[in-house]
Amino acid sequence: MGEIGVEGQTRVWLMQAQGGDQQGFSELYEHIAPSLHTWAHLRIRPEQSAFLDPADLVQEVWLRAWRQMETFEGDGSYFRFWIFRIAKNVLLEAVRKGQRTKGAGGSTTRLRRAHEQIDQVTAVSQRLARDESLELFRKHVADLPEDDRKLVLHCGLEGLPHAQVAERLGLGVEAVTKRWQRLRARLAHSELPTYLLA
């Protein structure tokens, strides 16, 4: 990422995307798609996989993000949280409907640009679906005890603040921080792709 770091580069891509630059938006997608794709695989239960595909979910999340990009108010550090909030909403809607997600309407210009993003999103999603290291990571996380799996989802992939994770899990902030540090260290030593984690 050079001298400005990941967060700084995310901020640059974000400003470009908010200005309507498709390349900036594509760079944001390339950066966060592996984590989002992994999250979708881990959050979709086996009984939901009959009507909900992780790649479709990720594509819908990204199209909604593109449509809402002008309304995003935050910096690069908040972007990950914002994307995963959209992802949670898309997942909840899809589960409620019990069918594959469908796109919502929007302005003609935004829709045209969104459709231009589909090829990019699809190509990246297909590449991620074939990525063996991501599959190993997903299997490893799926085999973790439930509390550890939730830590990976909330702290690692979603990048939630430890205070929020503590509240969700009914633990103290210090306990979440220590458990996450230990779990992250174990994941780092397992030769799994930790670049997915916030």
**13-26 residue pLDDT tens:** 888 888 888 888 88
Position 45 pLDDT exceeds 50: yes
Boundaries of domain holding 198: 132-198
Last residue of a domain, one of 78, 99, 130: 130
Cα–Cα separations (whole angstroms), residue 38 to 5, 84, 126, 172: 23, 12, 13, 27
pTM of the predicted model as reported, rounded to 2 decimal places: 0.72
Last residue of a domain, one of 83, 113, 130: 130
Q: Are 122 and 71 found together in one domain?
A: yes
Contact, 18 vs 72, CB < 8 A?
Answer: yes
Residue 53 neighbours by CB distance under 10 Å: 18
Q: Are 117 and 139 found together in one domain?
A: no
Helix (H/G/I), strand (E/B), else coil: 198: coil
**85-135 residue pLDDT tens:** 999 999 999 998 875 444 444 444 444 555 555 666 666 666 666 668 888
